[in-house]
A and B are shown apart, each in its own frame.
Chain A
Amino acid sequence: MFKVTINGREVEVSEGTTILEAAGQAGVYIPTLCYLKDVNEIASCRICVVEVEGQDELVAACNTPVVDGMVVRANTSRVRTARKENLALILSTHNVECTTCIRSGNCKLQTLSNDFNMGAFAAPSFEGVPAAQDWPQDFPLIRDASKCIRCMRCVNICERVQASGVWKATPAGGVDVAAASIEESPCTLCGQCITHCPVGALTARDDTARVFAAINDPDTITVVQVAPAVRAAWAESWGIPREEATPGRMASALRRIGFDYVFDTDWSADLTIMEEGSEFVARVKNAENETFPMFTSCCPGWVRYIKAQWPQYVDQLSTAKSPQQMFGAAAKTWFAEKEGIDPNKIFCMSVMPCVAKKHECALENMNDAGAGQDVDLSVTTREMARMLRECGIDPRELEEEEFDNPLGNATGAGVIFGATGGVMEAALRSAYFLVTGENPDPDAFRDVRGLDGWKEATFDLAGIPLRVAVASGLANTNRLLAALDAGEVQYDFVEIMACPGGCAGGGGQPIHDGQELAGVRGDILYGLDKHADLRFSHENPTVLQAYEEYFGAPCGERPHHLLHSDHHDWSMPHK
C-alpha cells in the first residue's frame, strides 16, 4: 500500500492507483474532461493536471500512478490557471452555441466552463473554430466537427469497446471517419460514441418534429410502441427515484404527448419469442441439415455488425424480425383490421434506447404490411424525454396508467429483452415449453444474466444438451466470433447485443457522463420480470389471440411473410 497526501488529506491506496483514483478515495474532486475509465486514459485535455511535490511540471492525474509518499496539490492557483487556460484553448476551437445545442445542460465542457467561471476569465483572444464538416443530415448518426473537442473518446470506444474502427484520429489531431464517408463505413449505429461524447459533437438525428407533425395531423392515427429498456431510463433526466419512474407513469406520459395508442414493444418481444423460439426448435429438430449456432437478430446494431465484419455468418442469423418491426407489421395488419382503421392512416412509431432502430425501420424490406413503412419512425429515449419537456409533462406529477390493448399486453419474458441475456432467457423459457409441453422454472436460465461481456451456459432441453452463449459489446462479440471461427468454441444458440449490457446501455439512452448504467437499468427490468404475473411469452394472451385471429401458427405462412425477413435483401459496406 502507498501513502499519498492529496490536498493535505492522507490516504492509503494500492500500487497502480492513479492520482485521480487516489483523490477519489481521499474525497478530493479533480475535474476531468477527456478521461473515460479504461477506455480513454490518454491525458489529452490536461484539465486534470495537479502539482506533485518535487516535480517542476504539472502532471495529469488521470493516468499518472501514485508513488509512496507522493504529495499532491490539486487546488493551487497554478493548477487552476493551467486548467483554465487549457479550457480556454478548448473553447477557442469549440463552436459555442450552448443555447441551441442539444447537449445544453448535459455537456461536460459546459459544466467545466461554469465550474471554472470561464466567463470571468480573461483568456487571450484565440482564433479558429473549425468549420462544420459536410455531413449527411439524414443519417441517424450526426457529427458536428465544429463542436468536436478532439478528446478521442469516440475513436477509442468505437475501436476498443465496439471493434468497429469507424473513427480515426487524423495526423493533425482531428477526428474523422476512417472510411470515405460515414455511409461507406462499417458504423453499426450502436450510438456508443454518442453516449460517450462529452459535448454535442456526436448526436443522433432528431426526429421529434416529425412526431409532433403526425400528432398534430387530425387525419393521422398515431401509434407508439416503447422498447423494454426505455422504461428503465426514460425519466432519468428528472432525477426521480427509479422505483417511481414506473412503466405506468411512462404510459401516462406518452398519452399526454398526444399519441392515440400507447403500446408496448414488450408485446412484440413476446411475439418475437414465439417466432424465434419456434424457428430455433425447428432448427434443432432438423439439426443434421442446419449450421449452428443460430444467432439472435433483434439487435439492429449487431445485424449491421455481422454484415459488415462477419458476412459469412449472416445465414445463421434468425430470420425473425426484431420486436420493433414485428410490432409495426402487426399494428398495420392485425390491429388495423381488428379496429377497422385504414393502415395507411396509421403513423406507427417507436421509442427505442437505440440509434440503429432509426435505420432498421427505414429498411425497404421492412414494409411488409403494405402501408408504407411498417414502423414509420423511431425516436430515442432521449428524444422522448425532450418531447415530454417540450410538452411540459413532469413525470413526477403523473398517475399510473395502463398501456392500450391489445398490443400493450406483455409478460416478464418480453421485459427482459432490454438486458443482455434477456432474449436468450425468454427464448429458452418458451423453447423448453415448445419441446416438453411444460413450463420450466422461470428462473431456470438465470445463468445468462449479468454484465459479463461473454457468457456461456449449457442447459438440458429435455435431454438435449443446449450450448448457449451471450455477448454484449461488439469487441466481446468479435472475440466470440473469432473463437467460433477458429473452432475453439461450439454453440447452438447465441444472443448478441451490440451495446455493452444490452439495450439498457443502449446508444439511444440518456447520457450520464462517466457513468455506465446498463447494470442498474437491467436490474429494473429483471425486477419487473420477477414481479410480473406472466413470465412466459407463450402465455401472453393477446399474442395467442393474434395467432388465433390472424397469424396462424408461429413460423407459418403469414408470419413468414410479415414477421420474418431475408437478411440478404440489403448489405453493409464490408471492412
Chain B
Amino acid sequence: MSKLSVAPASRADAKIAGFMERYQRRIEATPPGTCPVAVQLTLLEAGASQTCGKCVPCRDGLPQLAAMIKRVLDCDADKAALDEIRSLATMIRDSADCAIGYNAAADVLDGLDAFAAEYESHVMAHTCCDDIAQKVPCEAMCPAHVNVPAYIALVAEGDYAGAVQMVRKDNPFPTACALVCEHPCEERCRRTLIDAPINIRGIKKYAVDSCAADKAPVPARLPESGRKVAVVGAGPSGLTCAYYLALMGHAVDVFESRDKLGGMLRYGIPAYRFPRERLDEDVNAILSVGGITVTTNCYVDADKMRELADSYDAVYVAIGAHTGKSLRLENIDAQGVSSAVDLLRAIGDGDYPDFTGKKVAIIGGGNVAMDCCRTSVRAGAEEVTCVYRRRLEDMTALPAEVEGAMAEGVEMVTLEAPVAIEVDGEGKVCGLRTQPQMIGEVKRGRPAPVTADKPENHIDADIILIAVGQDIVSAPFEEFGMPAERGCFRASEGLEAEGLEGVFVGGDCQTGPASAIMAIGAGKVAARNIDAYLGYNHTLDCGVEAPAAKPNNRTACGRVNITERPARERKRDFEYIENPMSREEAVQECGRCLRCDHYGCGVLEGGRIQYV
C-alpha cells in the first residue's frame, strides 16, 4: 500500500466547501426581526459542533452553555440564569485551549451585552422584546419600507407605470433610487437561500427606464386641509415630506438655499451616476401633485426659522450635511486644495472643472471620494490618485464604486496617511507628503491603521481634494433652539425636534451623512407624523395593487447584474455609465422573486411593514 495519498485528510472536506457557502448564504438571509438570542444560540451551536472534543471547556462547556441559552430562549429561565451563562462563558473564554472554544464563548459574552434588553426580556417578561417579529426582508430592510414584492410583480407583468406608482406609494424618488440607491433591500433577500439576492435596484431601474417617473400619473390630491407646513431643504428628505403632505391636502412651502432642487442628489452625486434630467423626472412628478410652492436661493437663518415656526402649522427641517470636513494639515489653505463637497456642488450647478494635464490627489475612501476621483478623470486629469490611510477593503465606498474608479485609471494608494501638503514658491500645491501606515488591531469593529516604521512618501499633485466626510451647518438652527449633538439635530424616533412643538427634523442633518433612501424614509415618517400632529390620519391610495403571487421558481439561477459602459469609453464623458437591462433579463430577474409578501410570514398579521 502506498504511504502517501493525495486524498484530502477528510474526504468530506472537499465537498463540505460547497455547503459552507450554503451555510454562509443561510446566515446572510437571516430574516430581519429574528430574535437575537436565537441568533446567539445558533452561533454558539455552530461553535459547539466544531469542537474537536479534546478539551473540557469547549467539549462539555459549549453544549452546556447552549442548553442554558436554549432555556432562556424558551423563556424557561430566571434572571439568575444570565449570571450563570456569563460565569460559564467567562470561564470557557479564559480556559479553552483554542479559538473554537474561547471565541465561541467570547461571542456569547459580547452578545450578553449587545442584546442585554433582549435577554432581560426573556428572563423577566418571559417573552421577546416587542420589536422581535419576522418581517418581509426587502421591505423591512428598506428605510422607506417600499413594497418591493409588489413592484417586482408589476414589472414582471409589464406594468411599468404601475411599478413606479407602487414605489411612489412609499418613496417619491423611484428614479433616484433606481440609479443610486445603496439597496439595503437586497441585504437579507430570502432568494439568497437558493442562489443570490434579487437585483432589486436593477428591476426598479428597468421600470423607470421603461416608464419615466413623470409619465406615471401621481394620485389625486386629497381635499385641501387649510393647514400650512414649511419644509426647509429641497433634498430627498424635504421633497419626500412635501410630496406626501401635499397629497394629504396640506399646503407646503419649500425653502431651498440653492438654485435648484434635489439637494445632495444634485449637488453631491455626479451626473455620470445620476444624470440631471433623470433627477428632474422625480422632481417633476413630485411637484405635479400641486399644493407645493418652492422658494430657491432662500437661506434659512435663525430669524427666518423663528418666522417659519410662528407662521406655519408645522415645520420640517431637512437641511442635509453640506459642509466638507477638513483635515489639520500643513498648508491646507494652499491654492489647489479644495473640499470634495465644493467640487461636486459646482458641478451640480453645471460648472464642470477642467483638470486637463493636472495631477489630482483625492484624500478619503468613501463614496464621495470615489465620486471625486471619477469626476477628476472625466475632467481630463493626467493622473488621479486616491490616498487612503487604511486598506482597500476598509474603504467605506461601495466596492463597485472602487472597482469602477480603478477601471477608469484611478490609482489607489492605500495605507498612507497625509502628513502635509507641499507647496511651490508661489504657494500653489505641488504634492502631498504621506506617512506609511500598517494595519493593526480591530477597534470599534474596524481594523485601525497604525504608523508604520517606514519613511514618508511624496505624491505629486497639482490639485488636492479632501473627501473625508461632511458636516452639518447646524449653528443657525441651534440658535433658533434646536438642540444638536456632535453636529446632528436631536429628535425623537418620530422625528419631533427635541423640546420643540410642531418642528420636525430628519435626513442627513439628523442622522449624519447617510444614504438617499434613509433621508427619503425620514421624509415620509415626518409627513405622516406632521399629519397626525395636525390632527389627521389621512390614508393615501397609490392607485395600483400587487398582482397575485405565482408559485415560487425554486431552480437555482444566476443573478442578472447591471453592466457598465467600457471604462475607456465612459471615462471621457459625464454621460450615464450603466447599460440598460433588457426585457428578458428583467423578466428572469423578476421571476426569481419568492414573493415573501405572500409566502412565509408575509401573509401573517403583523408580518409586514406597510403604510397606506
Chain A residues engaging chain B, CB cutoff 8 angstroms: 42-46, 49, 56-58, 60, 78, 81-82, 85-86, 89-90, 92-93, 124, 126-128, 150, 152, 169-174
Number of B residues with CB within 8 Å of any CB on chain A? 24
**Chain A interface, >50% SS class:** loop
Segment from B61-69, B135-143, B208-216, B224-232 that makes contact with A = B61-69
**Complex: chain B residue closest to A93, CB-CB:** B60
**Docked pose: A171 CA to B102 CA in angstroms:** 19
Interface string of B62-91 (1 = CB under 8 A from A): 011001100000000000000010011001
Q: B571: CB under 8 A from chain A? A: no
| A46→B54 contact, CB < 8 A | no
**Docked pose: A563 CA to B554 CA in angstroms:** 78
| A89→B56 contact, CB < 8 A | yes
| B88→A169 contact, CB < 8 A | no
Q: B490: CB under 8 A from chain A? A: no
Q: From residue B102, how far is it (CB to closest CB) to chain A in Å?
A: 7
| B57→A171 contact, CB < 8 A | no
Query: Among residues 175 to 217 in chain B, which have CB atoms less than 8 Å away from a CB atom of chain A?
Result: none
Which chain B positions have C-beta within 8 A of A128?
63-64
| B64→A126 contact, CB < 8 A | yes
With A124-B84, A173-B53 in contact, do A85 and B91 touch (Cβ < 8 Å)? Answer: yes
**Docked pose: A42 CA to B93 CA in angstroms:** 18
| B59→A173 contact, CB < 8 A | yes
**Docked pose: A92 CA to B56 CA in angstroms:** 11
Q: From residue A53, how far is it (CB to closest CB) to chain B in Å?
A: 15
The answer, among B54, B68, B95, for a CB contact under 8 Å with A86, is B95
Q: From residue A317, how far is it (CB to closest CB) to chain B in Å?
A: 27
Interface string of B85-108 (1 = CB under 8 A from A): 001100101111100001000000
| A81→B91 contact, CB < 8 A | yes
| B84→A86 contact, CB < 8 A | no
The answer, among B53, B55, B61, B102, for a CB contact under 8 Å with A170, is B53
**Docked pose: A255 CA to B191 CA in angstroms:** 83
Q: B16: CB under 8 A from chain A? A: no
Query: Among residues 2 to 40 in chain B, which have CB atoms less than 8 Å away from a CB atom of chain A?
Result: none
Beyond contacts A44-B55, A90-B60, A169-B54: 11 other A-B pairs, Cβ-Cβ < 8 A, are: A46-B56, A46-B97, A57-B94, A57-B95, A85-B88, A86-B57, A86-B91, A89-B56, A92-B64, A150-B53, A172-B51
Q: B500: CB under 8 A from chain A? A: no
Q: B116: CB under 8 A from chain A? A: no
Q: B52: CB under 8 A from chain A? A: yes
Which chain A positions have C-beta within 8 A of B97?
43-44, 46, 60
With A92-B64, A128-B63 in contact, do A46 and B53 touch (Cβ < 8 Å)? Answer: no
A sample of 6 cross-chain residue pairs with beta-carbon separation below 8 angstroms, ordered by A number, consists of: A42-B54, A57-B93, A85-B87, A126-B67, A127-B67, A171-B52
Q: From residue A64, how far is it (CB to closest CB) to chain B in Å?
A: 10
**Docked pose: A181 CA to B59 CA in angstroms:** 25
Which chain A positions have C-beta within 8 A of B52?
171, 173
| B54→A44 contact, CB < 8 A | yes
| B95→A44 contact, CB < 8 A | no
The 8 A-B pairs with the shortest beta carbon distances in the complex, nearest first, are: A173-B53, A89-B60, A85-B91, A124-B84, A173-B59, A46-B95, A44-B55, A44-B54
| A89→B53 contact, CB < 8 A | no
| B53→A171 contact, CB < 8 A | yes
Q: From residue B50, how far is it (CB to closest CB) to chain A in Å?
A: 11
With A89-B61, A89-B64, A93-B60 in contact, do A43 and B94 touch (Cβ < 8 Å)? Answer: no
**Complex: chain A residue closest to B63, CB-CB:** A128
Q: From residue A387, how far is it (CB to closest CB) to chain B in Å?
A: 36
**Docked pose: A443 CA to B510 CA in angstroms:** 98
Which chain A positions have C-beta within 8 A of B59?
44, 150, 172-173
**Docked pose: A58 CA to B57 CA in angstroms:** 12
The answer, among B51, B61, B94, for a CB contact under 8 Å with A78, is B94
**Docked pose: A229 CA to B64 CA in angstroms:** 46
A-B contact count (CB 8 A): 80
| B95→A124 contact, CB < 8 A | no
**Docked pose: A42 CA to B102 CA in angstroms:** 17
Q: From residue B12, how far is it (CB to closest CB) to chain A in Å?
A: 11
| A124→B64 contact, CB < 8 A | yes
Q: From residue B97, how far is it (CB to closest CB) to chain A in Å?
A: 6
**Docked pose: A89 CA to B92 CA in angstroms:** 11
**Docked pose: A150 CA to B59 CA in angstroms:** 10
Which chain A positions have C-beta within 8 A of B56?
44-46, 86, 89-90
Which chain A positions have C-beta within 8 A of B54?
42, 44, 152, 169, 173
The answer, among A78, A82, A127, A169, for a CB contact under 8 Å with B53, is A169
**Complex: chain A residue closest to B101, CB-CB:** A46
Q: From residue B70, how far is it (CB to closest CB) to chain A in Å?
A: 11
**Complex: chain B residue closest to A45, CB-CB:** B56
**Docked pose: A58 CA to B91 CA in angstroms:** 9
**Complex: chain B residue closest to A124, CB-CB:** B84
The interface centre, meaning the residue of A44, A82, A92, A169 with most chain B CB atoms within 10 A of its CB, is A44
Which chain B positions have C-beta within 8 A of A57?
93-95, 102
**Docked pose: A86 CA to B92 CA in angstroms:** 8
| B64→A46 contact, CB < 8 A | no
Which chain A positions have C-beta within 8 A of B91?
81-82, 85-86
Which chain A positions have C-beta within 8 A of B64?
89, 92, 124, 126-128
**Docked pose: A86 CA to B87 CA in angstroms:** 12
**Complex: chain B residue closest to A174, CB-CB:** B53
Q: From residue A524, how far is it (CB to closest CB) to chain B in Å?
A: 38
| A58→B95 contact, CB < 8 A | yes
**Docked pose: A169 CA to B51 CA in angstroms:** 13
With A124-B84, A150-B53 in contact, do A82 and B63 touch (Cβ < 8 Å)? Answer: no
Which chain B positions have C-beta within 8 A of A46?
55-57, 95-97
Query: Among residues 372 to 395 in chain B, which have CB atoms less than 8 Å away from a CB atom of chain A?
Result: none
Q: From residue A86, how far is it (CB to closest CB) to chain B in Å?
A: 5
Q: From residue B569, how far is it (CB to closest CB) to chain A in Å?
A: 56
With A89-B60, A128-B63 in contact, do A172 and B53 touch (Cβ < 8 Å)? Answer: yes
**Docked pose: A44 CA to B97 CA in angstroms:** 8
**Complex: chain B residue closest to A78, CB-CB:** B94
| A124→B88 contact, CB < 8 A | yes
**Docked pose: A400 CA to B269 CA in angstroms:** 105
| B55→A45 contact, CB < 8 A | yes
**Docked pose: A49 CA to B96 CA in angstroms:** 10
**Docked pose: A44 CA to B84 CA in angstroms:** 22
Q: From residue B184, how far is it (CB to closest CB) to chain A in Å?
A: 36
Which chain B positions have C-beta within 8 A of A81?
87, 91
**Complex: chain A residue closest to B81, CB-CB:** A124
Which chain A positions have C-beta within 8 A of B88?
85, 124
**Docked pose: A81 CA to B86 CA in angstroms:** 13
**Complex: chain B residue closest to A94, CB-CB:** B60
Which chain A positions have C-beta within 8 A of B102?
57
**Docked pose: A89 CA to B263 CA in angstroms:** 61
Q: From residue B470, how far is it (CB to closest CB) to chain A in Å?
A: 39
The interface centre, meaning the residue of B53, B84, B87 with most chain A CB atoms within 10 A of its CB, is B53
**Complex: chain B residue closest to A48, CB-CB:** B95
**Complex: chain B residue closest to A175, CB-CB:** B53
**Docked pose: A521 CA to B61 CA in angstroms:** 41
Query: Among residues 468 to 494 in chain B, which have CB atoms less than 8 Å away from a CB atom of chain A?
Result: none
**Complex: chain A residue closest to B84, CB-CB:** A124
**Complex: chain A residue closest to B62, CB-CB:** A89
Which chain A positions have C-beta within 8 A of B60?
89-90, 92-93, 126
| A82→B55 contact, CB < 8 A | no
| B68→A124 contact, CB < 8 A | yes
**Complex: chain A residue closest to B65, CB-CB:** A124
With A124-B68, A170-B53 in contact, do A82 and B61 touch (Cβ < 8 Å)? Answer: no
Q: From residue A301, how far is it (CB to closest CB) to chain B in Å?
A: 27
Which chain B positions have C-beta within 8 A of A82?
91, 94-95
**Docked pose: A85 CA to B57 CA in angstroms:** 9
**Complex: chain B residue closest to A83, CB-CB:** B95
| A49→B95 contact, CB < 8 A | yes
Q: From residue A309, how far is it (CB to closest CB) to chain B in Å?
A: 16
Which chain A positions have C-beta within 8 A of B55?
43-46
Which chain B positions have C-beta within 8 A of A58?
94-95
Q: From residue A249, how far is it (CB to closest CB) to chain B in Å?
A: 43
**Docked pose: A114 CA to B84 CA in angstroms:** 23
